[in-house]
Amino acid sequence: MTKSITFTMLKPDAVKNNYTGKIIDHVLNAGFSLKAMKYIWLTAEQAGSFYAVHKERPFYNDLVGYMSSGPIVAIVLEKENAVEDFRKTIGATDPQKAEPGTIRNLYAQSIEANAVHGSDSDVNAQIEASFFFSKFEQF
Ligand code: IDP
Ligand code: MG
């Protein structure tokens, strides 16, 4: 099976709680490899643009405020079946519903501050990776 990419962010709660190393280790142990990585503090405008798909959701403004409240780590990951496997590795959006041993089960604080982002489709993985990186495809 050919490899594909997915995109993740270690969210501000994960960075503040010093889980960056533990989460990256978890991701590598789950078989993903790093294709591009950036430590960055998003402006509210950038966070709003990244999550524009959720504009109509009631939590949008809070989400934008939260995602611009501190630095994040943006990462492009590669693996066979990357998008689906990464969603399994991180667990459900609400950490209380996330399977034991998943990243959100282990490291998330709440449904909003849920430690990590994970793309939901191959198309969105490309769009999201391109939001942060211009050269991830050539590594
Ligand atoms: P996902 O990150 O599991 O794909 P989405 O539904 O795409 O979940 O929502 C994007 C992000 O918005 C979530 O990761 C979480 O940070 C936040 N979010 C989702 N649902 C809620 C909610 O009901 N209340 C507050 N924040 C939420
Ligand atoms: Mg989503």
CATH number of the domain where residue 16 is located: 3.30.70.141
Q: Is residue 123 part of a domain?
A: yes
**What is the bridge-based pairing of β-strands 72-80 and 3-10?**
antiparallel
Q: Is residue 99 part of a domain?
A: yes
- pTM value is 0.96
Atom of ligand 1 nearest to the CA of 66: 16
Q: Is residue 137 part of a domain?
A: no
Ligand 1 pocket check for 114: Cβ under 6 Å? yes
Number of domains present in the structure of the chain: 1
Tens digit of pLDDT for each residue in 5-57?
999 999 999 999 999 999 999 999 999 999 999 999 999 999 999 999 999 99
Q: Show the CA angle centred on residue 82, arms to residues 113 and 44, nearest 5°.
A: 35
Q: What does the pLDDT average to over 60-77?
A: 98
Does position 138 have pLDDT exceeding 70, yes or no? Answer: no
Q: Is residue 16 part of a domain?
A: yes
Q: Which domain holds residue 45?
A: 3-132
CA dist., res. 84 & res. 31, Å (int): 13
Partners of 111 in the β-ladder: none
